[in-house]
Amino acid sequence: MKLGYLSFFFIIIILFSLGCFYYYPFFSDDSLISLRYAQRFIEGKGLTWNDGHPVEGYSNLLWVLAISVLGKLGINLILAARIVGILCSLGILGSILYYFRNKNIQKEYVFLAVALLATTPCFVVWAIGGLEQPLYVFLLTLILIEVSKIVNYHNFKTVYLLSFWLGLLTLTRPDGFLFTILTLGFLLAICRKKDQFIKIGFVIAIIPSLFLLGQLAFRYNFYRELVPNTALVKVKVTIHHILRGGFYNFKAFFSTFLLSGLGLISLYYLLRRKNPFGYYLLLLTVAWISYVTSIGGDIFPAFRHYYVVLILFVFAIIFGLQYFKKISFTSKKVTWGLVFLLIINVFIQSLINDNVRAVDERWEFRGMELGETLKKTFSNQTLVAVTAAGCIPYSSELPTIDMLGLNDYYIPRHPPKNFGRGSLAHELGDANYVMNRNPDIIIFNIGSEPRFNIGDQLKSNKIFNRNYIKVKAKDEEYQLFFNKYGKNTGIKNTGSQLIIPGYLFQALSDDVSVFSDNKLIKIMNRGNVYTLSIDHLSSEDWKIVGSDEENAKFNADIRIKNGQLTIKITPKNNMFLESLVLEREY
């Protein structure tokens, strides 16, 4: 093959760009959680998600800081996350090609491994998906290169750079320190000279540990905790999660069968040759798969937690394929056969459901539209309770309760008794706590019926059923639950007057409201009966003294019994109602 490394790099960039274009504009909801932290950090509010007691609801410190740097320069944060992700992804491809360009390894092995990686959906989806995987795997790639220099070429001078990459990996994700432990143990096990043993043990043990201790010191000083909220919400080792995690890895392997299968075969041949670097790859692969299995896998498209295994298999192919005699790249038939196989592989992977999700999943953008609408419509002190903790809080910038607990202090520390036997990262919730916080608006997903454990609790909660009104917004068919007595979106009681938002009235049919001109307005159809009950009022009579709609004509029936005021409105014509004003009769 006459193709050179530089030419191949440009070709692979084109393939990578096509993959990104195919999955664009996928952007995960958890990415938007990180962006809310970054936005508030840029604004000088610290690494916080809300005002008040700070919690660490992110697990990607270095990623958030990198995005914050670009955000501080005025770059849109979603674009900033994509830029960092794409640059790290190109860094993975470029560093592999640059490292092996002058090594005594047939370039076709390198090209095949890199091409398999670049055409795998996991690689391109998470280049644009907004989470830290590209940075994490880029640093892991640099670590593998440095360990290869030590193991294969006995270059022990690189141990300092290796330690630095390990330290940065620790800051990227909390589980990054796992690779420090594994790498240190492996290098000490194969080291034969005393001076090298001491050097490796000291440098690799100390430098990454300083990164870890620095983050722990910051965490304890700022959050008053030693572990992030993410660990409390997502990590509970149970049989249920282990089975789920095992199935996750099983699906990931067979969904990336060409790369994973060839990587496993190549690793086998490396082990047969008793190649030390092969043992290192095996150690990391087994440890990572065991870890992912124990935590229950993941919920996002395209197997992001399998990304680590994919890069390990890439190195296994590069080093181990030379021992697999059945593949000869000197034959044009073999070369074109592999090209055809790559094309078929891309097509098959595009049909796999977990990859299709990255094409179809666009609800985060609808959630951001809803958040922007809420921001324009209601006071900046409006308290919103959500289950989708990324899109709506990020775009609305409103104070928010994360009902699933990732960004809340109380909820993760009071888990349900069956924690560890439900849906990963969606098991927590405390209806009594949420009701005590008295949110103005409650939103499930991006405006749906109550869901998850917290939804089931609220459906049977007396306060929720008494105080919250389901409001259907016509625009995008949102279903929002408004607190009748909320400070910012509910009924305003001045003592002598009641100012009632129109959207709180309910009817048996055609019961919708509409966002218009930064207001939420009730659509009322002629002949329908719209009802609202208000509790805890004195027994005096009340009368309607006005509404915002000049042409509104309706019959009204106002009754009070046992401290509960019931208002029934029957429009004489189709009308819009923004608010209704009642006055006490003395």
Are 173 and 75 in a shared domain?
yes
pLDDT at position 326 is 66
The reply to whether 148 falls in a domain is: yes
Give the model's pLDDT for residue 430.
97
The amino acid occupying position 72 is K
Q: Both 102 and 237 in a single domain?
A: yes
Q: Which domain CATH number covers 503? A: 2.60.40
* 198 Cβ contact list (under 8 Å, min separation 6): none
* 326 plus 201 within the same structural domain: yes
Label residue 547 by pLDDT band (50, 70, 90): low
Looking at the fold, whether 133 and 201 belong to one and the same domain comes out as: yes
Residue 119 lies in a domain: yes
Q: Quick one: pLDDT band at residue 546, thresholds 50, 70, 90?
A: confident
Q: Is residue 18 part of a domain?
A: no
Domain edge (last residue) among 298, 333, 360: 360
Asked which of 199-203, 218-222, 253-257 is least confident by mean pLDDT, the reply is: 199-203
How many domains, in total, are found in the chain? 3
User: What is the spatial distance between Cα 226 and Cα 128, in angstroms, rounded to a whole number?
Assistant: 31
The model's pLDDT over 391-419, given as tens digits with 9 standing for 90+, comes to: 999 999 999 999 999 999 999 999 999 99
Is residue 19, in this structure, part of any structural domain at all?
no
pLDDT score of 153: 87
Together in a domain, 295 and 382: no
Backbone angles phi, psi at 492, to 5 degrees: -100, 120
Residue-level pLDDT at 549: 61
Give yes or no: residues 437 and 461 share one domain: yes
432 domain residue, yes or no: yes
Residue 210's SS3 state is: helix
Residue 22 within any structural domain of the chain: no
Together in a domain, 513 and 551: yes
pLDDT, tens digit, 9 for 90 and up, residues 279-335: 999 999 999 999 999 999 999 999 999 999 999 999 999 999 988 876 666 677 877
Mean pLDDT of 521-529: 94
Chain centre distance of CA 526: 45
| 511 assigned to some structural domain | yes
What mean pLDDT is reported for the chain? 94
Whether pLDDT at 255 is above 90: yes
Of 330, 360, 390, which residue sits at a domain end? 360
pLDDT tens column, 30-88: 999 999 999 999 999 999 999 999 999 999 999 999 999 999 999 999 999 999 999 99
Taking 70 as the threshold, does the pLDDT of residue 1 lie above it? no
* Phi and psi torsions of 537, nearest 5°: -115, 155
What is the model's pTM?
0.94
Interacting residues of 303 by C-beta distance below 8 A, sequence separation 6+:
122, 248, 251, 252, 255, 256, 354
pLDDT tens for residues 76-129? 999 999 999 999 999 999 999 999 999 999 999 999 999 999 999 999 999 999
Q: What HEC string does 364-380 produce?
A: HHHHHHHHHHHHHHCCC
Residues 101, 172, single domain; the answer is yes
Domain boundary among 458, 490, 522: 490
Residues 186 and 264 in one domain: yes
Q: Is the pLDDT of residue 3 over 90?
A: no
Domain that holds residue 50: 5-9+27-360
| Amino acid, res. 531 | T
407 and 348 in a common domain: no
| Confidence band for 541, pLDDT divided at 50, 70 and 90 | confident
CA distance 391 to 28: 9
Q: Note the pLDDT of residue 496.
A: 86
Judgement on whether residues 323 and 280 belong to the same structural domain of the protein: yes
